[in-house]
């Protein structure tokens, strides 16, 4: 049976200050857990329904069988999804300068947006994301959930963007509403692409490092910019 202290501890990890203190975060859901278990992240504890454990043949010495009601008490989701893990935050990777395209995020605020960006990077083979120090925490539960497991395949590094971009030797493209259509540009294989804040775009202090303004033009749609 899950204890009150465990419930308090796990629920507390929804707050950034507690994640920093404990150096742990929470992963929920079947898809995310399968990706997690196939990654190099360290699982501290695993809580799951018995049928999920049996179905996935999980052999793990720190797995605890819980009821659906117990899972509801520790979950951040409105509808808990069979399994939840407490995971160790990895030591931040070293920035690699010899990769192909590196994405740079300038103060992304919305957890869902960040999660979607991470998934898109995974789809397009982008292996490294550099985040400004004010970008939302990648271990925020909403970010983790919306990545659908892509979080575990990409190196995501927080850095002072000004200091970092000042040392970059590859072309630096910036995403702007009035930028040139990416279809009309021959993008260098090794390059950086900067995406700005949802409300304010790329900040002035970062903008001075942009060598070319680009845009992903819509095709007859009326949705918000990509």
173, 207 in Cβ contact below 8 A? no
Take residue 41 and report the two structure tokens written for it.
Answer: 């992240």
Instruction: Please provide the DSSP assignment of the chain as one string.
Output: ---HHHHHHHHHTTSHHHHHHHTEEEEESHHHHHHHHTSSPPEEEEEE-HHHHHHHT---TTEEE--HHHHHHH-SSSS--SEEEEEEPPPPPPPPSSSSEEEEES----HHHHHHHHHHHHHHT--EEEEETTSPPTTSHHHHHHHTTGGGGSEEEEE-HHHHHTT--S-EEEEEEEEEEGGGS---SSEEEEE-BTTTBS-HHHHTT-SEEEE---SS--SPP-
Burial class (CB in 10 A: 0-12, 13-18, 19+), 36: buried
Average of per-residue pLDDT across 181-191: 82
User: According to the model, what pLDDT value does residue 223 have?
Assistant: 57
User: According to the model, what pLDDT value does residue 224 have?
Assistant: 60
- Please report which confidence band the pLDDT of residue 171 belongs to, taking 50, 70 and 90 as the band edges: very high
Q: Give pLDDT tens digits for 149-168.
A: 999 999 999 999 999 999 99
Q: Give pLDDT tens digits for 21-32.
A: 999 999 999 999
166, 209 in Cβ contact below 8 A? yes
User: From CA 183, how far away is CA 218, in angstroms rounded?
Assistant: 12
Average of per-residue pLDDT across 7-35: 96
User: From CA 170, how far away is CA 100, in angstroms rounded?
Assistant: 10
User: CA–CA distance from 132 to each of 48, 96, 207, 211 (Å)?
Assistant: 35, 16, 13, 19
Q: Give pLDDT tens digits for 45-74.
A: 999 999 998 888 776 678 899 999 999 999
């Amino acid at each position: 049976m899950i204890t009150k202290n465990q419930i308090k501890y796990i629920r507390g990890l929804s707050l950034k200050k507690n994640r920093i203190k404990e150096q742990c975060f929470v992963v929920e859901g079947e898809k995310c857990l399968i990706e997690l278990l196939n990654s190099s992240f360290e699982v501290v504890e695993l809580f799951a329904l018995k049928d999920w454990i049996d179905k996935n043949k999980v052999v793990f010495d720190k797995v605890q069988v819980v009821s659906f009601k117990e899972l509801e008490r520790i979950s951040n989701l409105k509808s808990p999804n069979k399994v939840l893990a407490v995971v160790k935050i990895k030591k931040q990777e070293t920035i690699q300068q010899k990769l192909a395209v590196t994405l740079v995020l300038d103060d992304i605020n919305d957890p869902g947006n960040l999660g979607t960006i991470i998934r898109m990077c995974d789809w397009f083979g982008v292996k490294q994301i550099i985040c400004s120090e004010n970008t939302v925490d990648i271990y925020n539960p909403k970010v983790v959930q919306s990545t659908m497991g892509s979080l575990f395949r990409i190196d995501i590094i927080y850095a002072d963007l000004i200091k970092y971009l000042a040392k970059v030797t590859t072309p630096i493209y910036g995403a702007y509403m009035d930028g040139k259509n990416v279809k009309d540009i021959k993008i260098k294989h090794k390059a950086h692409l900067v995406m700005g804040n949802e409300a304010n775009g790329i900040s002035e202090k970062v903008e001075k490092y942009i060598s070319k303004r680009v845009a992903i033009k819509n095709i007859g749609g009326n949705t918000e910019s990509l």
